[in-house]
Amino acid sequence: MRVRETDQSSRSLPITALRQAALFSSIKCPGKLILSAYDLAQDLRKAGITVVSGFHSPIEQECLRILLRSPNPVTWCLARGQMRRIPSDLREAFAAGRLRIVAPFPDKVRRVTTATSERRNRIVADMAAAVIVVHAAPGSKVEALCLDLLAAGKTVYTFDHPANATLIHAGAKVARSDMDWKAVLDASRPARRR
């Protein structure tokens, strides 16, 4: 599936060439993890990390608002075809090139469905050097995706919280407040072929 970038493709790097961290969270999230997500977004913003996400869940949307308060690019991957209009609260960041919007589906796909969301999340994970999961609710599609990623050898980080015990037990690394995210992403990227 080809990933297309909305209107900005001539002014920016190819999406897959960027050092990116994928961000996921289930819709319902424990309060302590919400605070951890806000701190994480601040840390990623300060470190200059490009974050890619579907920015669908409330926590992901709040992280998007925090991330867009810096000059660092953010990649929003849609679970549908290209948008006709950019949401008004995102137009400034989009026009400045800080928000990249990619559409991995044909333009005739106008509605977000469970199937397109699942496919989009897989694409987001594939675009990233590492995956950061604020919370994966037990039995959720986010949890299933992360378990598949871990089984395939993808680097997944999550917060040390009882609600994320399944991911940690499956091999997810614990995200800490003192992490050097640039070093983490460099270590997580596969070596380039010569």
Q: What is the rounded distance in angstroms from the CA atom of residue 80 to the CA atom of residue 117?
A: 8
pLDDT at position 37, please? Answer: 95
Domains of the chain: residue spans and CATH = 4-186 (3.40.50.450)
pLDDT at position 182, please? Answer: 86
* 194 residues of the chain, pLDDT tens digit each: 444 455 443 334 345 445 799 999 999 999 999 999 999 999 999 999 999 999 999 999 999 999 999 888 999 999 998 888 889 989 999 999 999 999 989 989 989 989 999 999 999 999 999 999 999 999 999 999 999 999 999 999 999 999 999 999 999 999 998 888 888 888 876 554 44
Provide the angle, in degrees to the nearest 10, between the axes of the packed helices 58-67 and 31-47.
Answer: 30
pLDDT at position 68, please? Answer: 94
Which amino acid is residue 98, in one-letter code? R
The H or E element that residue 138 is part of is: none
Which distant-in-sequence residues (6+ apart) come within 8 Å of 133 by Cβ? 24, 25, 142, 146, 156, 157, 158, 164, 167, 172
The pTM of the full predicted model, rounded to 2 decimals, is: 0.86
pLDDT at position 194, please? Answer: 43
pLDDT at position 34, please? Answer: 94
Q: What is the rounded distance in angstroms from the CA atom of residue 145 to the CA atom of residue 137?
A: 11
pLDDT at position 10, please? Answer: 32
Buried b (16+ CB within 10 A) or exposed e, 150-187: beeebbbbbbebebbebbbeeebbebeeebebeebbee
pLDDT at position 184, please? Answer: 85
Number of CB atoms found within 10 A of residue 137's CB: 17
Structure tokens at 88: 């008004």
Q: What is the rounded distance in angstroms from the CA atom of residue 144 to the CA atom of residue 173?
A: 16
- The phi and psi torsions of 76 (rounded to 5 degrees) equal -105, 115
